[in-house]
């Protein structure tokens, strides 16, 4: 384990490896910042954002789709500003914000919302695809762990508050064709799943809030080995780097006592560790018609 970026985020989230820029992007949700670092050149960026943002997908070299507390918009990386609003997202509800999200293999984007105080059942998960924004699931407290099987057969998501991860079968256009089914009940072993990513072999890597770790989960839901980090609140993993063998993980300092931060001063930094199984390039989001 090594520190990939020492800049401290109050609530680091939304790790995304950009395959064309060969750089990691992530958010400080509470700090309203988009950060990035290229490991090859050491180049870093820190963009101030006008509202809370939590997740992104790459569109091309210079544009990201970014999920903010009120909608889904195109962001220009060179100009450092938003260009275009694609869809409003619970913009009429000031009590919610976005949380975890990820592009799907069809060029769509899944995004979760939650209550600002993590009120039970206040959140939902949506999909934007071909200009069509639909609510997929509701009655979720803290939506996390959104990721997809390499063959596109299913999607995963978690409700951190319940300690549950679900699996949902998808049709040929990436829409759910069945209700979500329980995949892993982390609460039975005292874990709380946060962000997740799938690797090339179909296994998952799931960040564990409060455990300072990312845990391996097999395609059939068997819990495996853990990789630990010097921050108790690990939030979102991403695969990238050379041959996609580097596991990056964001973390958070939010809610930790001064004594706990003194014990773990890297809380809020981004970490990196090598994997033995490669990840996969994240699919690009396609803003046009399906």
* Binding site as annotated, residues: 13, 97, 99, 117, 144, 194
Catalytic residue among 194, 201, 230, 243: 194
Q: Compute the distance between CA of residue 123 and CA of residue 138 in angstroms, rounded to an integer.
A: 6
Tokens describing residue 207: 């960040």
First-last CA distance in the chain: 41
Q: Would residue 62 show up in a list of annotated catalytic residues for this protein?
A: no
The per-residue b/e assignment along 220-257, b for 16 or more CB within 10 angstroms, e otherwise, is: eeeeeeebbbbbbbbbbbbbbbeebbbbbbbbbbbebe
Helix (H, G, I), strand (E, B) or coil at 151: coil
Which one, of 71, 87, 102, lies nearest residue 281 by Cα?
Answer: 102
List residues forming the annotated binding site for substrate. 97, 99, 117
Q: Judging by DSSP bridges, how do beta strands 71-76 and 81-88 pair with one another?
A: antiparallel
Contact 75, 81 (CB under 8 A): yes
Residues 6 or more apart from 178 whose CB is under 8 A from it?
168, 169
Q: In Å, how far are 1, 112, 156, 162 from 167, measured between CA atoms?
A: 30, 15, 5, 15
Q: Name 64's bridge partners.
A: 58, 75
Q: Compute the distance between CA of residue 28 and CA of residue 26 in angstroms, rounded to an integer.
A: 7
Residues 6 or more apart from 143 whose CB is under 8 A from it?
99, 100, 112, 113, 114, 123, 124, 125, 157, 158, 159
List residues forming the annotated binding site for a divalent metal cation. 13, 144, 194
Q: Compute the distance between CA of residue 163 and CA of residue 142 in angstroms, rounded to an integer.
A: 10
**Residues designated catalytic:** 194
């Amino acid at each position: 384990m090594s520190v990939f970026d020492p800049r401290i985020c109050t609530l680091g989230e939304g790790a995304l490896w950009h395959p064309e820029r060969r750089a990691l992007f992530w958010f400080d949700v509470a700090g309203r910042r988009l950060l990035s670092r290229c490991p090859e050149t050491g180049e870093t960026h820190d963009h101030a954002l006008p509202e809370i943002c939590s997740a992104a997908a790459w569109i091309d070299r210079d544009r990201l789709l970014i999920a903010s507390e009120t909608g889904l918009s195109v962001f220009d990386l060179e100009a450092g500003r938003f260009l275009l609003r694609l869809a409003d997202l619970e913009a009429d509800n000031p009590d919610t914000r976005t949380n975890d999200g990820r592009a799907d293999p069809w060029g769509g984007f899944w995004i979760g919302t939650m209550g600002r105080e993590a009120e039970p059942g206040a959140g939902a998960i949506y999909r934007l695809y071909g200009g069509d924004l639909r609510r997929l699931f509701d009655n979720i407290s803290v939506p996390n762990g959104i990721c997809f099987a390499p063959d596109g057969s299913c999607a995963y998501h978690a409700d951190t508050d319940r300690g549950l991860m679900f699996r949902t079968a998808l049709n040929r256009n990436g829409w759910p064709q069945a209700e979500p089914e329980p995949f892993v009940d982390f609460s039975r072993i005292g874990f709380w799943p946060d962000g997740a990513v799938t690797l090339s072999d179909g296994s998952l890597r799931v960040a564990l809030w409060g455990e300072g770790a990312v845990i391996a989960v097999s395609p059939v839901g068997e819990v495996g080995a853990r990789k630990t980090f010097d921050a108790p609140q690990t939030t979102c993993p991403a695969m990238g780097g050379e041959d996609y063998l580097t596991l990056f993980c964001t973390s958070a300092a939010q809610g930790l006592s001064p004594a706990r931060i003194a014990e773990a001063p890297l809380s809020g930094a981004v970490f990196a560790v090598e994997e033995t199984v490669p990840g996969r390039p994240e699919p690009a989001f396609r803003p046009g018609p399906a």
